[in-house]
Amino acid sequence: MALEIKVGPPQIAIHHGHSVLLTEPDGRILWPSDKGLYFLDTRLISSWHLYANGETWELLNSGAVVPYAARIHLTNPRLPTEDGDIPAHTLSLVVSRAIGEGLHEDFDITNHGGTPARFNLEIAIRSDFADIFEVKGGRIIRRGRITTGWDGQTERLTTTYRNRDFQREVIVQTARSDASAVFANGRLSFPVSIEPGRTWHACLLYELVDGTAHYGAPSECSVEDAHAPLRRSLAEWSASVLKFTCANEDLNRLYAQAIDDMAALRLPIEGTDHMEFVPAAGLPWFIALFGRDSLIVSLQNAHVYPAFARGALDVLGSWQAREIDPERDAEPGKIPHELRRGELAHFKLIPHTPYYGTADATPLYLIVLHTIWRWTGDLALVRRLLPVAEGCLAWIDQYGDRDGDGFQEYQTRSPHGYENMGWKDAGEAVVNPDGSLVKGPKALCELQGYVYDAWLRMAEVYEALDDAERAATLRQKAASLHQRFNAAFWNEETGFYAFTLDGEKRPVWTVASNPGHLLWSGIVPPDRAERVVRRLMAPDMWSGWGIRTLSSDNPSFNPLSYQNGSVWPHDNGLIALGFRRYGFAAEAAAVARDVFRAGSYFALNQLPELYAGMTRRDSGFPVQYLGANVPQAWAAGAVFSLIQAMLDIEPDAPRGKLRVDPVLPEWLPDVTLRDLRFGETTLDLQFRRADGKTLVSVLRGDPASVEQVGREAPRAGG
C-alpha cells in the first residue's frame, strides 16, 4: 500500500483584502514567531492562547474551509474543578474564524459527558504592533507606546499603538455570549457552565483601526454564513473564471486550488466595479501592491481572468513615477516595485512609499498591455493607458539604459535600495561562475529579452492606432537589440547565454535559469534554441521537480537557498512557454509534468512560492523551503502557464480569431476548457489526444473563430 505524503508548513492561513491571520494548527499564535493577525503591514495580534482553567486544549483537527475562514476542533485534557474532575475528551470545542476586514471568532463548547461541566474559558491576547518588515527580519524595535483599556460594561477590550501621528488599534468585543466576560491578568475569561448534551456559545469580534478608519468584523456567527458579500463575490469569481477539467485528477485538484489561491489574493480597488481587482503577491509577507508580481500574475491569468490585467494596469499606472527620487530609486516613467503602509513606510524608514527598485516591471507593463488587448480587443483601454505606456517607453530609453550602450542595466542609488532588481532580487542571487557576487551595474539577460518583446508588441499596438511611423521605429530598435544582444551574450562554445553583463561589461557565464526567459521573449535565434533548451534540461539544472534557479555545479549552489538552487514554479512556467514557442513541446510538457507532480505532494495541492532544488528520487517527494509564501500568486498562476504551454492558445481578439496548436502528452490525453473568453466571444473547447496528435473540438461558440495551426480545422460539437 502506497503511503501518501503531504509536504508543507504546519499552519493555518486565512486572508481577505489587507487582513491576514496566520496561526498554528491549533489556532494559537506563539510568541516569538512570525504568526499573527496582520493588517496593512502591521501585526495587530502577536500572541493568542486558549485555556480551560489554565490548561491548554488539545487539537483534534483543523484547517481553512475557504480562503477567508477556518475551523479548529479541540478537546479538553482532564480538568480538576471544585465539582470534581472533568474527564479528558468529554468536551468538544470548535473555534470558527472568518476574516473580512476585521475578524469574527466563534467558540462552541459541547458537553459530551454525563454530568454538568463548570470551568473558566480563558483567551490570552497580546499585541506588539510590529511592522511586517521587522517581523520577517526577526528584529523588532518598539518605537511607540501601547495602551490597553477594558470597558466592563460593554465588555470591550481596546489596545492602541501610537507613535506620533501613526496609530493602529485593535478592539475586541464580546458578542452573543452565554456568559459575561471579565478581563484580568492579560486574559479574557468566561465562566462556562454546560449541562450534559448541551452547547455553550460565545463570539469575539475584532475591529481593526487604521488611524481613524475602522474596519469591522463579519457579523454572522457560522463560517457558512459569515461575510455574505464576500461569499457572493467568491461565487461571482468562480462563475467568471476559466473552467478546466481533464482525466488527470491531480491536475484537476491543482487547478482548482490555484483558482482558490487567486481568489484569496485579490485586492479590491477602491472606486471601481466590485469585480475589478489587482493581485497581491503572496501570503503572509506580500499582501501589498507589487509591480513585477502583479504584472506576471496578470499574464498568467490572461486567459483565466483577464480583469486582473485591467486592475494591475490601472493601479500601477497611477503610481508611475513622475520625478527623480534617488531614495526610492524612482525616475520618470518607471513602474513601481512595492507599496507598503506600515510604520516603517509611514516614517520613511524604508523607501516603499512606493519603492521603484525593479528593472523589469516597466517593460512588463507594456507586455501586459499588449496581451490584454489581444485577449479582449479593447482598443479604448489601450488609448486610455497610452500616456502610461509612452512613459514606460521613455524610461526604457533614458533610464533603463543607464550608460547608453543599448542594454538595460540596474544599480540602486538609495542607501536602502535593493542590490538586485530582476525577479531574482535576493542580495546574493547574481553570482559569478566561481560563486562570488557579481558587481554592478548589472545587465541581466532577461531584461534585454523583455525590452525586445515589449518593443515588438508596442509596434503592433501603434499599428492598430494608425501610427505606422512609431511602429516602424520600435521594430527597428528591436532588430538592433536582437543583433547586439546575440553578439554580446551568446557563448558558442557552451551553447548558452550569459546570466548578465557585470559592471565592466564583461559577460558572466554562470549557468542559471534566467536564459529560459529569453525563449519566452523570442529574442533567441531559432538555430540556437535547441542548445538553450538542452542546457536547461541538463542534470545540473533539471532537478526532476523542475528547473533550478542555479546550476548545481556552481560553488554557490544550495538547494535550500532562496534563489541559488531552489525551484520556482513561476520561473518554470515562463521557461515552458519559451520551450513551446520554439517548438519544444515534449520538453514543455516534461516541465509541466514534474512541477505538477511536485504540487500534488504539497498540502492542499497548493504550489508554494518555491521549494528545494534537491534531485528527485524514485521514492522521493519535494522538500519545502521554510518561509515560502503559501498561497503565492505567481506560483498558483504557474499552473495556468504550464497548461497554456501544452495547449498553445494565441488570441487575436481584434481580428476575431483564436489560434491553437495543442500538443498533449501521453499523461494528459484530454483537456476541456469552459468559459474561455476572448473579445466578445465565449468558447468551450475540448482537446483530445488521438493517434499521437491532438485534436480540438468547439463545444460552444463559433467554430470559425478557432484556427488549429498546422492541423485540420476544429470541428463543432464533441
Summarize pLDDT for 41-92 with one digit per residue, the tens. 999 999 999 999 999 999 999 988 888 899 999 999 999 999 899 999 999 9
Q: Is 570 helix (H, G, I), strand (E, B) or coil?
A: helix
What CA–CA distance (Å, rounded) separates 158 from 150? 6
Nearest 5°: CA angle at 457, between 451 and 459? 105
CB atoms within 10 A of CB 525: 11
What CA–CA distance (Å, rounded) separates 554 from 224? 52
User: For position 642, what pLDDT does the model report?
Assistant: 98
Q: What is the DSSP string of 374-404?
A: HHH--HHHHHHHHHHHHHHHHHIIIIISSSS
Instruction: Please say whether the beta carbons of 419 and 412 come within 8 A.
Output: yes
Which residue type, as a one-letter code, is found at position 630? V
Q: Which residues pair with 174 in a beta bridge?
A: 204
Ordered structural domains, the chain, with CATH: 12-229 (2.70.98.40), 241-647 (1.50.10.10), 654-716 (no CATH)
The label of the residue with cell 511592522 reads: 131
Sorted by sequence, the CB contacts under 8 Å of residue 703 that are 6+ apart come out as: 713, 714, 715, 716
Closest by CA to 95, choosing from 123, 120, 116, 118, is 123
Span 199-212, average pLDDT: 94
User: For position 228, what pLDDT does the model report?
Assistant: 64
Nearest 5°: CA angle at 85, between 82 and 89? 140
Which residue type, as a one-letter code, is found at position 72? I
Summarize pLDDT for 97-112 with one digit per residue, the tens. 999 889 999 999 999 9
What CA–CA distance (Å, rounded) separates 214 from 376? 38
Closest by CA to 558, choosing from 516, 610, 499, is 610
Percent of the chain exceeding pLDDT 90 equals 81
Q: What share of the chain is helix, strand, coil (3-state, %, to 5)?
A: 30, 30, 40
What CA–CA distance (Å, rounded) separates 175 from 364? 49
Sorted by sequence, the CB contacts under 8 Å of residue 663 that are 6+ apart come out as: 580, 585, 586, 589, 646, 648, 694
What CA–CA distance (Å, rounded) separates 19 from 230? 14
User: For position 2, what pLDDT does the model report?
Assistant: 46
Q: Is 349 helix (H, G, I), strand (E, B) or coil?
A: coil
Using the predicted structure, report yes or no on whether residue 718 has a pLDDT greater than 70: no
Summarize pLDDT for 356-371 with one digit per residue, the tens. 999 999 999 999 999 9
Q: Which residues pair with 243 in a beta bridge?
A: 674
Q: Give the torsion sign (CA, 383, 385, 391, 392).
A: negative
Instruction: Please say whether the beta carbons of 653 and 375 come within 8 A.
Output: yes
Summarize pLDDT for 575-631 with one digit per residue, the tens. 999 999 999 999 999 999 999 999 999 988 899 999 999 999 887 899 999 888 888
**Cell triple for residue 32?**
516569538
Q: How confident is the model at residue 274 (pLDDT cuts 50, 70, 90)?
A: very low
